[in-house]
Amino acid sequence: MALSHANKLARTHGTLVETLNRHRDKGQRTVRVEHVTVQAGAQATVGNVTAGGWQTKH
């Protein structure tokens, strides 16, 4: 009886972890810049910029 409960708990835990990971991956992070000053001789990118994003290692 205890073994079947442990098996069920392990399967449920795995399912919950998978669901949480799927949910986390769908979040989009957006940075909106309202005002930028570019000095003479400097370079700037103007427009929508899409990239893979930065990842930090902990």
DSSP 7-54: HHHHHHHHHHHHHHHHHHHT-------------TT-----S-------
- Which phi-psi region, left, alpha or beta, contains residue 53 (left: φ > 0; alpha: ψ -120 to 50)? left
53 — phi, psi (to 5°)? 95, 165
pTM of the model: 0.38
Distance, CA of 8 to chain centre? 30
Look at residue 41 in the predicted model and tell me its pLDDT. 92
Q: What would the mean pLDDT of 19-23 be, rounded to a whole number?
A: 80
Instruction: Summarize pLDDT for 35-45 with one digit per residue, the tens.
Output: 888 899 998 88
